[in-house]
């Protein structure tokens, strides 16, 4: 076997004969940035950065990249024209966790609704654009579907953090994410059902008894959980008509965060985390969105922005923006 030398690689690049990774076989996912007000709750911005488009916790980036997904930021408060240009180029978008409240949450929700409507319209046209929500992202998608932010209740206790098994609903066998289809290996279902394998880190949630027809027309609840007081909350759901999925729990932190001994790092915990990022990779490949050129994709990559180590596995990308 011969190794290609650096000089020969450079020569190939010079004449443009290398085959660059193409979408959707090599998918790209946008992560919606966290607003600056919430970033301050994670860490003050480093000195010398004077323009911000928010931040992205690196847990999400590394989790996706471990399953072959490239990542670009989607600046949460950029103009719709700018955000749509990103959405037209990527294969899906992720709404991450966070701790927004008040006017900041209302503004974020309005911009998230534009992304949700875009993805819904694309799916209606047969273009299976992918959406994922984690924790606050799960709650954002819930509120959009419920069309009522008051149904998001911040009354849960003992879930920040906690490791829990999933209490599956009767819908679970038909689920794409956790059901009996080829995309869900049976051992994953067993682990989720019988082990404390999902990391919860939230005080807000959606009580399944508060669901309405608007929500049920879009999403099907796959699992629920209860807090230490026995108060139920929805822990995962998916759309039966759109390529949308969400978890109240945090699969991305399992692999990388060591700030609390409660966080599970067993082989089965890691298997669940990796299964879900691989599941996302498969779902991203169902649409044909693509950047015009490899250069455009590389220029948009999250690695073009500074990342700072906060300790215990936590890193933060600071995203410049207008």
Catalytic positions: 135, 250
Report angle CA 311, 309, 305 to the nearest 5 degrees: 155
Q: Report d(CA 116, CA 306) in Å as an integer.
A: 28
Q: Report d(CA 128, CA 291) in Å as an integer.
A: 17
Report angle CA 113, 50, 294 to the nearest 5 degrees: 60
Q: Are 67 and 61 in contact (CB under 8 A)?
A: no
Give Cα separations from 180 to 38, 188, 282 (angstroms).
Answer: 39, 11, 16
Query: Which H or E run includes 278?
Result: helix 267-284
Which residues sit opposite 205 in a β-bridge? 153
DSSP string covering 52-87: ---EEEHHHHHHHHTTT-EEEEE-TTS-HHHHHHHH
Q: Report d(CA 53, CA 76) in Å as an integer.
A: 7
Q: What is the length of the chain?
A: 322
């Amino acid at each position: 076997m011969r190794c290609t030398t650096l000089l020969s690689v450079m020569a190939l690049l010079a004449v443009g004969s290398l085959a660059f990774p193409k979408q959707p076989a090599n998918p790209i996912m946008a992560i919606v940035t966290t607003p600056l007000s919430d970033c301050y709750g994670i860490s003050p911005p480093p000195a010398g950065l004077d323009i911000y488009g928010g931040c992205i916790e690196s847990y999400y980036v590394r989790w996706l990249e471990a399953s072959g997904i490239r990542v670009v930021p989607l600046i949460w408060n950029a103009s719709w024209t700018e955000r749509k240009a990103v959405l037209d180029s990527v294969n899906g978008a992720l709404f991450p966790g966070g701790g927004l409240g008040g006017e900041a949450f209302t503004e974020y929700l309005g911009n998230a609704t534009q992304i949700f409507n875009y993805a819904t319209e694309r799916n209606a046209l047969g273009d299976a654009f992918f959406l994922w929500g984690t924790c606050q992202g799960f709650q954002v998608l819930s509120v959009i579907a419920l069309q009522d932010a008051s149904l998001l209740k911040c009354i849960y206790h003992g879930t920040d953090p906690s490791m829990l098994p999933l209490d599956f609903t009767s819908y679970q066998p038909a689920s794409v994410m956790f059901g009996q289809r080829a995309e869900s290996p049976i051992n994953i279902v067993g682990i989720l059902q019988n082990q404390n394998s999902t990391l919860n880190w939230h005080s807000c949630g959606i009580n399944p008894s508060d669901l309405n027809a608007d929500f049920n027309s879009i999403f099907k609840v796959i699992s629920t959980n209860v807090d230490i007081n026995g108060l139920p909350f929805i822990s995962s759901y998916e759309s039966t008509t759109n390529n949308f999925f969400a978890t109240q729990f945090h699969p991305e932190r399992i692999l990388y965060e060591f700030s609390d001994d409660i966080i599970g790092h067993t082989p089965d915990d890691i298997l669940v985390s990796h299964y879900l990022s691989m599941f996302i990779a498969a779902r991203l490949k169902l649409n044909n969105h693509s950047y015009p050129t490899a250069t455009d994709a590389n220029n948009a990559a999250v690695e073009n922005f500074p990342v700072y180590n906060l300790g215990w596995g936590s890193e933060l990308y600071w995203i410049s923006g207008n």
